[in-house]
Structure 1
Amino acid sequence: MGLCLADFEGCWRLSRRIDDARAGLTGRLEGDALFAPGQGGLVLTETGRLCYGDGPPLNAERRYTWREEAGGIAVFFEDGRPFHWFSSDAPETRHDCPPDLYHVRYDFSAWPEWRAVWQVSGPRKDYVMESHYTRVTGCGGVPER
């Protein structure tokens, strides 16, 4: 299945689980992901409520920019630094952030639902984070795809 950047535009329901082996805790985030035009591509804004261990729920938000590049999608941090590149034909990649290593596997087999599974390891981190995205239609004036 060949996906292009425009296939992601719009609103998604986000459900995330974080299994933190180092801390011995599990986190859950329920929220939304919006892919909206901007910054030469699509700006992904994820918002939600994070419950981590027994702590009180926290509001969480993060942003990335996704751009079409080299036959796939290049992902950038909010400040413009490169993060990683992937395509539907090459859905696994990594980001080296010494001393930790981030490995991601995207799964588009149930499109328009999709998942991203991050395995993060190193001297400071040891967790698996699985995010599940489900299309939401007719949100905020963003066209349906």
Structure 2
Amino acid sequence: MPVPRVLAHLAGAWHVERTVRDLADGSEGRFAGTTLFTPLPAPDLGGLLHQESGTFTWHGAARAAERTLRFLPGGPGADDATARVEFADGRFFHDLDLRTGHWTTDHLCVRDLYRGEFEVFDADHWRTRWRVGGPAKDLLLVTEYRRDRAAGSGERRTG
């Protein structure tokens, strides 16, 4: 499903389920939780704060897990058609362009390559797949996002 305004589409609350497979040894873990996309404070007007929290279970042990990212408008004149995704500390992570409903991107982390694939199915469901390969990791992370309509979230309808 094409998404002409990625930031408007992501705004709100999402249920998250992620599988993490270690392709080297076959072990598998799971994350379940929530991702909130809320407006960033000034000076990052127009951007979204991505706050993920939940429980990650790996080798039978469950523990709390969270991460924070920043989604900023993609560039001059881009409005929110595309996004620049940063880690919480401002380091660049990847670009995101869902105008066709699908996006592939890479992120090099030391010597491990993260290859991400994003796919939007409808207004309330999207998926990411990150294939991580290199000397330190051999992983597949698949995350399903489902909009939490009960939390009062919903795509901000714009122009």
TM-score of the two chains, using structure 1 as the length reference: 0.91
Listed as ranges, the matches of 1:1-145 within 5 Å are: 1-4=2-5, 5-39=7-41, 40=44, 41-54=47-60, 56-70=61-75, 71=78, 72-88=82-98, 89=100, 91-139=103-151, 143-145=153-155
CA contact (8 A) 1:119 1:128 kept: yes
Distance of 2:25 and 2:48 partners within structure 1: 34
Given residue 104 of structure 2, which amino acid in structure 1 is its aligned partner? Answer: E
The answer on whether the counterparts of 1:138 and 1:144 sit within 8 Å (CA) in structure 2 is: no
Cα distance in structure 2, aligned partners of 1:29 and 1:102 = 19
Q: Distance in 2 between matches of 1:21 and 1:93?
A: 21
- Structure 1 runs of 4+ with >6 Å offset: none
Retained in 2: the 8 A contact 1:117–1:130?
yes
Return 5+ residue gaps in structure 2 as ranges: none
Using the aligned pairs only, state the percent identity: 30
Give structure 1 stretches of 5+ with no counterpart: none
Q: 1:103 to 1:129 in 2, by over 3 A?
A: same
Question: Could you tell me how far 1:138 is from its partner in structure 2?
Answer: 4.4
Tell me the C-alpha RMSD between the 2 structures: 1.5
For these two proteins, the number of residue pairs brought into alignment is 142
